[in-house]
A and B are shown apart, each in its own frame.
Chain A
Amino acid sequence: MICGGILLGMLVGSLPGLTATMAIAILIPLSFSIPPLLGIPFLVGIYKGGLYGGAIPAILVSTPGTGGAAATVFDGYPMAQKGKAKKAIQMSLVASTVGDTLSDIVLFMFMAPLAMVALYFGSPEYFSLFVFSLVLIAGVTGQSILKGLFSAFVGLIVSTIGIDSVTGSSRFIFGNLNMASGITFMTMLIGLFAISEILIQAEKGLTLKKNADVNTKYGKQDRLTWNEFWRVKKVIIQSTGIGTFIGIIPGLGAPIAAFLAYSFAKRTSKTPEAFGHGTLEGVAAPEAANSAVNGANFLPLFAFGIPGDIITAVMLGAFVVHGMRPGPDLFQNHAATMYAIIWGMVFANAFLLVMGWALSGIYAKIVTIPKNLLFPGILAIAAVGSYSVNNNMFDVKLMIVFGVMGYLMKKFEIPLAPLIITALLGRSIENSLVQSYIILDGNLLNLFLRPISALFIVLALIFLALAFMPKKNKNKSQQ
C-alpha cells in the first residue's frame, strides 16, 4: 500500500497544478475499504511521493510541482540546462529521503512525551492553544493576516452547520436533512482543491509547453556519485534541522523551510556565487528541508490533535474517517496502530529512495502529459470520491459549491489552510470554549490566571500586534 501511495504521489507531484494535498483529498475514499493500518500509510505514501515528485518538473521544466519545490528551481533548472537533469533529480531524491527519515526519527522520539504533556491540558489550555495556533496559521499562511483570519472564521461558521453536538439542536440547515449531520469534510476538501483547480486551469487555458530535452536526453546523463553526495552531507544535515524546526511550528510549512534552508546554505557556503547557476548544494538544501517538514509536521497533530498545515489538516480528516481522533488519547487507544504507522512512514522513505531512483526517468516523461486530458479525468474522480462518502448526490453538488468558493479564494489569495483547519476543529474549539466558559465562571479573562493558557494567549496577542504593525522599514529595505 505504501508503494502504491508513493507511485501515485510521485505521479501527482510531477504534474504541475496537481498537489499531494489534492491527491490525498480525492483518494481518501479509496482507503475507506481497508483498515487504518494500511489506509493511513497509503495516504502517507502519497504525501511523501508527492513532495518528492514536485522536484521533477521544478528541475526539468522550471515549474515546481508543489510549493515546497519552488526553491529547487533556482539550481535544479540550471543543472538541467547544463545537461545534468538526472544528477539533479537524484540529488533531490537522496536529500529528500535523508531529510524525511531524520525528521521521522524526531517524530518517533518526541511524540509520546509530548502527548503525555498534552494529557495535563484542560479545556482552557486547549482553547488557548487553539487560539494561538489559529492566529499563527492565519498570520503566516497567506500574504495578510486579515485574509487568514477571514478564512479562519469562514471555516468556523462552516463547522457550526448541522446538529449541535452539545444541545442536539440544529444550526443553519435550512430545513435540508442532508445538512443535519454537518458539511461532509471530504466533500469540502475535494471541492476546495480539485474543482477549484479545474476552474483555475480552465481559466488559464490548460497549456503546458512540452520540453523536448526532457524526453530525448534524460536517459543518457551522468548519475549522482557517492563522493558528490558525501560532499553535500553537511548541507543536507543543516537543512534537515531547519526543516524539522519549521515543521513543528504550526502554519509555516514546506515552502518557507525550503527557502530558509536555501538561503542558509548559500550564506554558509564557501562558493555562494555558484548558487543559482546549477550547484548540487542548491538542490540538496531545499529538498532536504521541505521533506524534513514531513515528520515534524505530524508532531502537533499526533500530540495535541492540531494540524500544523493544510496537508496535516487533510491527514487529520483521514484519521477521523478511520475512527482515530489525533490527540493525546490516540496513544492510549491506538498505540500499536500508531507506532506501526510511524514505522510505515520510516519504511516509506526507503521505498521512495528505491522507487524514485528506478522510476525518475518515467516520471520525467509524465511531466509532459497534456492538462486538457488530465483535468476532465480529475472531475470524474472527484465526483465519485465525494459521492462515495455518503452515497449521496447532495455531496456532489456541495463539492461544486466549495469548488467555486475555493476558486474565488485562490483568485483573491485568501489562504485555504485556516478555513480547512477551523472547519475541521470548529466543534472541538466550540466544546473547549463552552467548557472553559463554565470552568472559568463565565469570565474568559480568567484564562490569564492559568499559566499555560496565559502563555498561549499572550503569544497570540503579541503575534497579532506584530502582524498589524506598519511595515514601512521593511518596504524601504525591499526597494
Chain B
Amino acid sequence: MMSEKKINLSIGIVSIILSCAIYFLVPFEVNNDPIPGTGDLVRITPAAIPLICAVAFVVIGGLFILQPYVFSKSDDQDDDVTFSQDGLVRGCVTLLIVISYPALLEALGFLLGTTVILFALNLYFGTRKIWQLVLGAVILPICITYIFGSLMYVPLPKGYLFG
C-alpha cells in the first residue's frame, strides 16, 4: 500500500526525470533553428514546446514533492493506492502474455497467433469450460478475421512462418 505522500513523491520524481530527459534529448532530437520567417522579428524554434514542457515538468515535479509541506492536508484525507502481491503477479503475467502477442502475430499470423494468445489468456483467467474456451479462443478470432479481413479488407498479418 502506498500513502498519498509516497504517491506524490513518486510522481514528482518521475516528472523531474521526464524534464531532464526532454532537456538532454532536445539538442539531439529537435531542430533548434528559428522557424523560417520569424528570425528577424522573434526567435521561436521547433524546440519551444518541448522546452516549455521540460520547465513545466520541473515545476510540477517540485510542487508534487513539496506538496505535503506547503499545502498541508490532514492525514485522514489520504488516498492510498493498493498494490497487492497477488494482484501485481497477475498483472505482470497478463502483461507478459500481452507483450508476446505482437511477436506471435508476426510469426504465426493473425488467426493462429490470436488463437494461441486468447487460449493462454482464457486459461490464465480461469476459463475451464470447453465451450467457453472454444468460443473465446477459436470462434472469436475467426469472426474478427472475417469482419476485418473479408468485410473491411484489412490485410491482417499472415506471419512469416506461413506467409
Q: Which residues from chain A sit less than 8 Å from chain B, CB to CB?
A: 29-30, 32-33, 143, 146-147, 149-150, 153-154, 156-157, 159-160, 164, 166-167, 169-174, 195, 198-200, 202-206, 370-373, 375-377, 379-381, 383-384, 387-388, 391, 393, 396-397, 400, 403-404, 407, 411-414, 426, 429-430, 433-434, 437-438, 441-442, 468, 470-472, 475, 478-479
Contacts and interface: CB of A to CB of B under 8 A. Distances in A.
B60 interface: yes
Interface of B: 7-8, 10-11, 15, 18, 22, 25, 29-31, 33, 35-36, 38, 41-44, 46, 48-50, 52-53, 56-57, 60, 63-64, 67, 71-74, 76-77, 79, 81, 83-84, 86-88, 90-91, 93-95, 98-99, 101-102, 105-106, 110, 114, 117-118, 121-122, 125-127, 132, 135-137, 140-141, 144, 147-148, 152-157
A441 B42 contact: yes
A373 B127 contact: yes
B11 A414 contact: yes
Contact of B157 (A164, A387, A403): A387
Contact of A33 (B67, B91, B125, B152): B152
A199 B102 contact: no
20 contacts: A29-B152, A146-B63, A146-B64, A153-B53, A157-B50, A166-B46, A172-B25, A172-B50, A195-B98, A203-B90, A203-B91, A204-B87, A380-B118, A380-B141, A393-B102, A404-B95, A407-B91, A411-B83, A413-B81, A429-B49
**Max count, chain B CB within 10 A of own CB: residue among A146, A388, A434:** A146
A388 B105 CA distance: 13
A157 B7 contact: no
Contact of A380 (B10, B56, B79, B114): B114
A153 B114 CA distance: 35
A150 B11 contact: yes
A414 B15 CA distance: 13
B11 A412 contact: yes
**Max count, chain A CB within 10 A of own CB: residue among B8, B42, B87, B147:** B42
A150 B15 CA distance: 8
Given A30-B152, A205-B87, A167 B33 contact: yes
Nearest to B47: A171
Nearest to B98: A400
Interface SS of chain B: helix
Contact of A149 (B29, B48, B56, B88): B56
Nearest to A471: B73
Given A169-B30, A434-B48, 12 more contacts: A29-B154, A33-B152, A156-B49, A174-B29, A199-B94, A203-B94, A205-B86, A379-B121, A380-B140, A383-B102, A384-B154, A437-B44
Contact of B154 (A156, A205, A388, A412): A388
B60 A150 contact: yes
A172 B29 contact: yes
A168 to B, nearest CB: 9
Contacts of B86: 205
Contacts of B110: 384
